[in-house]
Amino acid sequence: MIKFNIKHLYFISLSLLGVENIYAHPQEEISKNTSTLKAVQAIIDLPNGGLVYLLPGQESAFVPKIEYNDSYSGVYTGEIEKFDKFYLTLLDDYGNAIDDERVLNEVRLINLNTWINGSELGQTETCRNIKLEVENNKLKIINLPNILVSLTTCDFLISTKNPRVLNINKNSKRTKLKFNYPFKIWANNDNNNNNAAVKMAKKLDALNLDLPEIELFGSYLYDEVDFSSIYNINLFPKLENITIKGFRFRDKSLQFSMLPNSSMLKKIVFTENIITKLPSFAFENFSTIENLSMYKNKIEVIQDDAFLGLKNLSELDLANNQLTQINSRTFLHLKSLKKLDLTNNQIQDIPKTTAEVILN
């Protein structure tokens, strides 16, 4: 009879799941350099929420300096002097950065992107080779992606070789890094003109950034639109009204969080596009919107809390879509709503609680 102990079964199960770079460290292998250290409890701190930028000719990832984090920062132009190097930071129980190299050398990245099949991450090597390296008593990411075709998210589990030296809070072990180019790099990308992100960046770059109103029109055949090239950038600081017409969206799902952000934005007209779903929290960063027109878009599903954040919305037009039902949470957060148009959909019944929200 073949016998396995728990440790053997653990590593076999991880191997079957496709986890690479598994490290085994029996007690007798603990190095003399770390055996005298007290166990450190740590959490992971990701500057800029893990959104990092790749700059031409640089081998490091970067985040915007706080003093330049505005609409015309390095995120727009790519000016390296307006960026800091990106380091992954470990914080102790007092919120202080851990800089002991003996502790930092215990940290390892377990790459989770190999588990994703059929997605962009599963089809490319963009995320798979990324590793950590200690530099100047900090953790630097190396083996960065060579070419981006859109905002790219990489998924990792941060582990430790020796839990007797370092314990990482379980709530911060799962870590996402998002890789992007500064806006101008997208707009000047001549090697990938067929990419939707590049197309949109070029189209926006041709506009006057001080315009209070812009209109983006796709072709009658529908162009694919991808706003990842302007992710997290307040590109149009004076924008009040925006019209988006004639586009198809990736996965047919709308994420308005990737639209040009503006603290002055009052009206969005979004019509004759191909989307079938409004996901939860699609508008959470658009509290200034007062008028939202989303007629004739083939919308079939509005997920719970899709309109969360639209506290000032007074007019909502969802006419001429393919909605079959709405539920009690669909309009729950629209406290300022005065006008709602649901005509020419396929809704058979409106829940009583929803009707009360609308009427009130």
Do 352 and 253 lie in one domain? The reply is yes
**pTM of the shown model:** 0.72
Per-range mean pLDDT, top range of 97-101, 111-115, 318-322: 318-322
3 vs 108 pLDDT, higher one:
108
End-to-end CA distance of the chain: 72
Q: What is the CATH number of the domain that holds 199?
A: 3.80.10.10
What's the total number of domains in the chain?
2
Check if the beta carbon of residue 302 is closer than 8 Å to that of residue 280.
no
The Cα–Cα gap between 75 and 15 comes to 40
357 vs 107 pLDDT, higher one:
107
* Of the listed ranges 148-162, 181-195, 330-344, 346-360, the one predicted with least confidence: 346-360
Contacting residues for 331 by C-beta, under 8 A, at least 6 apart: 307, 316, 337, 340, 354, 357, 358
pLDDT tens track for 234-251: 778 788 999 989 888 766
Coil, helix or strand at residue 123: helix
* Any domain includes 27: no
* Any domain includes 22: no
Please name which of 200, 206, 198, 194 lies closest in space to residue 181, comparing C-alpha atoms: 198
Residue 352 has pLDDT above 80, yes or no: no
Residue 40 pLDDT grade (very low, low, confident, very high; cuts 50, 70, 90):
confident
Instruction: Please say whether the dihedral angle defined by the alpha carbons of residues 18, 19, 20 and 26, taken in this order, is positive or negative.
Output: negative
Q: What mean pLDDT do residues 17-36 have?
A: 43
* Any domain includes 62: yes
Mean pLDDT of the chain: 78
Q: What mean pLDDT do residues 303-329 have?
A: 91
- Per the structure, the complete domain to which residue 154 belongs is given by 37-180
Q: Which long-range contacts (CB under 8 A, 24 or more apart) does 67-75 make?
A: 70/234, 71/209, 71/233, 71/234, 71/235, 71/236, 71/237, 74/182, 75/182, 75/183, 75/232, 75/233
Residue 313 pLDDT grade (very low, low, confident, very high; cuts 50, 70, 90):
very high
Do 125 and 193 lie in one domain? The reply is no
